[in-house]
Structure 1
């Protein structure tokens, strides 16, 4: 079994590269909504928090997927 650092440095399949990028975009959008200089409803802030977590998890899991296993 490969270590986490070796897996993160190994080539990532095309599907997981796309998934990682989508996760990064979700996290960036959530961060911008959470840091908005205007008052937003609590529900919107809560959803932004959930999107940030989901984007971070998607990015982390996608980065550790490797080709050839």
Structure 2
């Protein structure tokens, strides 16, 4: 299956939820990075981890294909 066809194919409901949670985690990390105040280092480290985990979850959730 080609890459573009795989990304546009129907996604199972479980992986739709995984994708949406991943997008939410990435958005939360982006919001923390977008703050104009100085944050402690551990908050930035947690936000970086959330961004990586969210991006991985979103990509895995989107790449899953429903077999019929």
- Superposed, 1:1-69 pairs within 5 Å as 2-68=1-67
What are structure 1's unaligned runs of at least 5 residues?
Answer: none
What are structure 2's unaligned runs of at least 5 residues?
Answer: none
CA drift of 1:14 comes to 0.3
CA drift of 1:4 comes to 1.3
CA drift of 1:61 comes to 0.9
TM-score by length of 2: 0.94
